[in-house]
Amino acid sequence: MSARSLTPGITADAAIVGGGVIGLTIARALAMRGVRNVMLIERGSPGAEASWAAGGILAPQVEADHESDLFRLACASRDLYGAFADALREETGADVELDRTGTLYLGFTREDEGEFRRRFTWQTEKGLRIDWLNSHDAHQLEPQISNQVRCALRFPNDIQVDNRKLIKALAKANQKLGVRVANNCEVSAVRINLGRVSGIETSGGHVSVPVIVLAAGAWNSFIKSPDAFLPEIRIEPVRGQMLCFKNEPALARHVIYSSSGYLVPRRDGRVLAGSTSEHAGFEKRVTDEGINAIKAMASEIIPELNRLPLIDSWAGFRPRAADDLPVLGPCQAIEGLFYATGHYRNGILLAPITGDLIADAIVNGVTSTLLVPFSPDRHMSEARP
């Protein structure tokens, strides 16, 4: 349904504001836990923004130079993906193409090698799966990579999923579970009465609801309340540009990183290359500068990519909080208000655990210790400005 189809006096038991991968996963998790009247409200079409533009990489180890709360959360979510993908296949018949080939991180310089050795040491000490490869070993796994590769790390547990197929599967799963979806419907305000959520104001009218999850990604900061002082959470859009090449015959099997970017081979004969990181507001476009930078990165990893036809390009907005950490869990000052936003570069990766933990907090009233470091209360000012 659309905003125009919202009828006066509409109610819900729980409303999720934002229909990206995070909102879709939370809605599904709530419905599966017996919440009957779940409503998902999306300003455009579900999954059409950051979730659609992503690369689908599930690689917490390759991007971490130390252990942290976010790293532990990300690894826990990655490790849920096998069961998550299987459940979605059973519910919908859809294959989200969870690819377990693994990820390579290529080193080209002496400095890269030093950093790789530090990373190899701490991850090995933590009992994580990680392999050290010399240049010969790396070329045995991926013959087309540059001859300038000095060494590499292999992360067998860092995998990938087709994010667009994941979005479609989640949308179908929600439909089958009876979740009501309001498309092209903007939320302007959260209504609060006597310290608890009472409803939301949308472009289609008022919705009475006792539980609200703000999962609007880069648009989360536009949602206010005329009734109470919400946490001062500023979510910034960070533009990322991506290129897509025709990868036939296939030049790579693994997801491959360098210090400048990454390549993601897909089963259908494409290879994605990304990504830029730009503070450009809500200007969603592909630029010549972005294309040239990504092509340079891609050809450094695999020189033969210069010969592949460029068949697509796109840009999206990563939702970034000021401290680079997601904002997850209940707002202690306002009963019934939950946050699930600011996932930045990790929305696809963190979707399964975000859905489970937010749904558990709503249904059972228990906040997991995994969520505590990401509480929205860390943004709460002491007094109304």
pLDDT digits (tens, 9 = 90+) for 227-276: 988 888 999 999 999 999 998 888 999 999 999 999 999 999 999 999 99
Banded model confidence at residue 1, pLDDT cuts 50, 70, 90: low
Q: What is the pLDDT of residues 114-128, one digit of tens each?
A: 999 999 999 999 999
Contact 333, 382 (CB under 8 A): no
The separation between CA 23 and the C-alpha centre of its own chain, rounded to angstroms, equals: 11
Residue 142: per-residue pLDDT? 98
Architecture of domain 100-157+236-319: 2-Layer Sandwich (3.30)
pLDDT tens sequence across 312-359: 999 999 999 999 999 999 999 999 999 999 999 999 999 999 999 999
Predicted local distance difference test score (pLDDT) of residue 249: 84
Does the domain at 3-52+165-234+323-379 match CATH 3.50.50.60? Answer given as yes
With vertex at residue 82, the alpha carbon angle to CA 77 and CA 87, rounded to the nearest 5 degrees, is 105
Which carries the bigger pLDDT value, residue 39 or residue 381?
39
Q: pLDDT-based confidence at 17, cuts 50/70/90?
A: very high
- Residue spans per domain, the chain: 3-52+165-234+323-379, 100-157+236-319
- pLDDT at residue 383, as a whole number: 34
Residue 8 has pLDDT above 80, yes or no: no
How many other β-carbons are positioned within 10 Å of the β-carbon of residue 323?
Answer: 11
pLDDT, tens digit (0-9, with 9 covering 90-100), for 270-310: 999 999 999 999 999 999 999 999 999 999 999 999 899 99
